[in-house]
C-alpha cells in the first residue's frame, strides 16, 4: 500500500448512480473500507487477525494507520458502532496491543467491557 493514499470519496446519490468510481466485486472502495473498519469493533475478529499473523505485516499495519480517517466527522457518521470501532482502531496502532490481543483473557475482557457499555445505553460515560 502506498503511503500517499487518500480516503475514498463519500458516495452521494449522484456518484452511486454513475459508474465513475471503480467497483471491486460490485462494491466501491468506500463500502469495502467501511465494512472492514466496522469489523474491527469485534475483539474476536481482532484475535483472528492476530492469530493469522496479519499484525506482523508492515503493509497491513500501514493500512490500519490509513484507516484512521474514519475518526473524521465526514466519515464517522457512517459507522454503526463508532465507539468500539474507533477505540479498537486506535489500540491497533500500538505494537503491544497487537501482541496482547492474542490472549484469550484480553479478548474476554474486551467482550465483557463491550457488553457492559452496551447495557449502560447510549450517551453514558460511566467507569463501571
Distance set, CA 31 to CA 7, 10, 14, 97, 118 (Å): 12, 9, 16, 27, 25
The pTM score is 0.79
CB burial of residue 119 (10 Å; 0-12, 13-18, 19+)? exposed
In the chain, where are the structural domains located?
13-120
Predicted local confidence at residue 121, as pLDDT: 73
What gap in Å lies between CA 53 and CA 92, rounded to an integer? Answer: 13
Please report, in tens digits, the pLDDT of each residue of the chain (128 residues total).
555 678 888 776 554 545 566 788 889 999 999 999 999 999 999 999 999 999 999 999 999 999 999 999 999 999 999 999 999 999 999 999 999 999 999 999 999 998 888 788 766 655 54
**CATH superfamily for domain 13-120:** Mediator of RNA polymerase II, submodule Med31 (Soh1) (1.10.10.1340)
Residue 17's pLDDT is what?
A: 47
The x, y and z cell numbers of residue 12, run together, are 452521494
pLDDT given at position 3: 55
Q: What is the pLDDT of residue 80?
A: 95
Amino acid at each position: 500500500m502506498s503511503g500517499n493514499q487518500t480516503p475514498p470519496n463519500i458516495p452521494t446519490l449522484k456518484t452511486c448512480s454513475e459508474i465513475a468510481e471503480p467497483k471491486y466485486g460490485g462494491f466501491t472502495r468506500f463500502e469495502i473500507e467501511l465494512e472492514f473498519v466496522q469489523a474491527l469493533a469485534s475483539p474476536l475478529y481482532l484475535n483472528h487477525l492476530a492469530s493469522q499473523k496479519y499484525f506482523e505485516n508492515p503493509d497491513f499495519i500501514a493500512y490500519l494507520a490509513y484507516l484512521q480517517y474514519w475518526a473524521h466527522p465526514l466519515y464517522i457518521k457512517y459507522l454503526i458502532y463508532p465507539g468500539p470501532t474507533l477505540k479498537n482502531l486506535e489500540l491497533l496502532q500500538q505494537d503491544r496491543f497487537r501482541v496482547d490481543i492474542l490472549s484469550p483473557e484480553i479478548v474476554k475482557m474486551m467482550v465483557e467491557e463491550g457488553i457492559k457499555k452496551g447495557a449502560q445505553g447510549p450517551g453514558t460515560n460511566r467507569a463501571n
